[in-house]
A and B are shown apart, each in its own frame.
Chain A
Amino acid sequence: MTTLAPTPGTRTYAPAPSVTLERVSKRYGGGDAGVVALQDISLAVRPGEFVCLVGASGCGKTTLLNLVAGLDRPTVGTVDVSIGDPGGSSVPARDRDPVAGTGTAMLFQDSALFPWLTVAANVELPLRLRGVKKSERRAVADDLLERVHLGGFGPKRPHELSGGMRQRAALARALAQDAGLLLMDEPFGALDAITRDLLHDELESLWADRGFTVLFVTHNVREAARLGDRIVLLTSRPGRVAATYAVDLVRPRRIDSTEIASLAAAVTDQLRAEVGRHGR
């Protein structure tokens, strides 16, 4: 449940899709040497929902995001990213007109900004790939950089920015895709606590503005409780859904609040129990 109502904007953003995984398994390699990365995962994410996936190493978090992004195919089961209610009349997001935007955006732990492009050119690239005119691209990139508090840093090179600034620039580039679905693969994992705290605020406010669907992978349980509408705890080797927690805390939240701390403690206990099973 969120209390931050989407701000009435001057423009409309790409519609947020639902994400449905049905009995998805992913296996790498065959025979005895094969590794089961994901086993029998079912998950339904509502349009506009912010879901955090938490798990220890080897829970297949990155595999899961790759499947949702369409970079990889499940061995068994189906992955569906659709506009409209699941089960109703839906349009697969990836089949939409590419000019209307790439269906899925993704943020990585290292910003994956392209070092040969300026920050502004990085943000413009998804627009360029869609054939948007130069003047228009520049205007959009400027707006987006302004939105992530990087106004004036457009002509800089990525390596001239700090880690937190790079992640914000990467966020602006992801927003330039105008995607309804944002996949985040431990995006703030390498940042210090203060920077991370501020980026949580930034991300939450962007999400409130634009209402995209978020799948956020992290191994920081507090971060998950700070950001998510829902926390999905994954087991390791193979990755399976161990538990789901609804986070019924009012927004904006503070990561140091007692409510977040006690929820995080409960999730952490469960996570420890899951990890402990591998020690025997």
Chain B
Amino acid sequence: MAVERPIIGTDLDDLRRDDSRGIPNSDVADAPVRPSLDQALAGLDALDRSGGSARATLAQRTWRSTWPKLIAFGLILLVWQIAVWAHWKPYVLQSPATAGRELWNQLGTSLFWQAVWVTAQQALIGYTLVVVIGGVVGTAVARIPVLRAGIGALITGMQTLPSVLWYPLAVMVFGVTWRAIILMMVLGAAPSVANGFISGIDQVPPGLLRAGRILGARGVSLERHVVLPAAFPSILGGLKQGWAFAWHALLAGEFLILVNPLSLGGRTVGAETQGTYGVVVAMMIVIVFIGIMVDVAFSRVTTSVRRRYGLIDASAG
């Protein structure tokens, strides 16, 4: 059905395109001058965009996240001290002051720093392998239906297995070497990372996949430019959990597989056999401290990623 006859451009239509002409005749003398498209859009954009409150300074944010930790730490020291005062297991339990002094002594020795260095290197190598293997397996399982049906459940099953249970197998495969420890880390932690990738990829909005394909992303480039970045906030959760498991496996491995007495786990064993429990406690404090530092780093990254993705209110923390 064809509709009304075509109309010729009216004054209003002309006015709309050419603002510089101002008011063309007295009939529309009271009408406001219609702004150009540029002006109108600029005005609308200015109105639409909220001001956004300023973020707190770094010092403020650091203090806000630190003081609850300090209070918690103080409470733990208090409970510990009360146990000492109550003479609970007096031969084993050192007072916080003794442990603190022991820790201070340790910090002054080069052997201690060598142990930290050895453990940190192992952690870095092991965790890198955990991330690479977990990431590749997770992506493949999430994107290839046959693999998902085949080993999807197996990965979840492996996740429930404590990493120390891999100790006998690891020693059988690699003997008493640092490779056995790395194997424990990978077997214990890679399933967590893989599961993070799988759940992250499953949650990618289909609209973004469709947009990616329309823009010309196919196969590997679709994974690289759309799927993995879209899944990244969830993947980070898996990476964090994977780190916790890898760190557990590493220390358990150092404790059980006596490759190098010059590692955090190795020195803890040494102190235990020599009965210097102050050193044991000092080592435990160091291990907890490293764990907290890495956790803080992960939280920082997670928050900044979520902010960039627009997943949290810009004015928050």
A residues within 8 Å of B by Cβ?
A: 1, 3, 69, 71, 98, 102, 104-106, 108, 110, 112, 114-117, 125-126, 128-130, 149, 157-165, 168, 173, 177, 194-195, 198, 201-202, 205, 243-250, 252, 254, 259, 262-263, 266
Verify A262–B6 contact, CB threshold 8 A: no
Verify B44–A194 contact, CB threshold 8 A: yes
Contacts of B310 in A (CB 8 A): 115, 157-160
Contacts of A164 in B (CB 8 A): 44-45, 48
The CA of A110 and the CA of B207, in the complex, are separated in Å by 9
Which of A106, A114, A202, A254 counts the most B-chain CB atoms under 10 A from its CB? A114
Verify B7–A249 contact, CB threshold 8 A: yes
Shortest distance in angstroms between B37's beta carbon and chain A's nearest beta carbon?
5
Contacts of A248 in B (CB 8 A): 2-6
Q: Which of B2, B211, B221, B311 contacts A108 (CB 8 A)?
A: B211
The CA of A126 and the CA of B4, in the complex, are separated in Å by 42
Contacts of A105 in B (CB 8 A): 214
Residues 208-257 of B contacting A (Cβ, < 8 Å): 208, 210-217, 221, 225-226, 229-230, 232
Q: Which of B6, B17, B213, B232 contacts A250 (CB 8 A)?
A: B6
Task: Indicate if B1 sits at the interface (CB-CB under 8 A).
Answer: yes
Verify A162–B211 contact, CB threshold 8 A: no
Interface size class of B (residues with CB under 8 A): 35 or more
- Bitwise, B185-221 to A at CB < 8 A (1) or not (0) is 0000000000000000000000110111111110001
Verify A104–B214 contact, CB threshold 8 A: yes
From B8-16, B60-68, B75-83, B283-291, the one touching the partner chain is B8-16
Contacts of B30 in A (CB 8 A): none
Shortest distance in angstroms between A107's beta carbon and chain B's nearest beta carbon?
9
Verify B8–A250 contact, CB threshold 8 A: yes
Known: A114-B230, A252-B17. A263 touches B37 (CB 8 A): no
Verify B49–A177 contact, CB threshold 8 A: no
Which residue of chain A is the closest to B215 with respect to CB atoms?
A: A126
Which residue of chain A is the closest to B208 with respect to CB atoms?
A: A112
Task: Indicate if B309 sits at the interface (CB-CB under 8 A).
Answer: yes
Verify B226–A114 contact, CB threshold 8 A: yes
Which residue of chain B is the closest to A194 with respect to CB atoms?
A: B44
Verify B44–A129 contact, CB threshold 8 A: no
Known: A165-B48, A198-B41, A250-B8. A115 touches B215 (CB 8 A): no
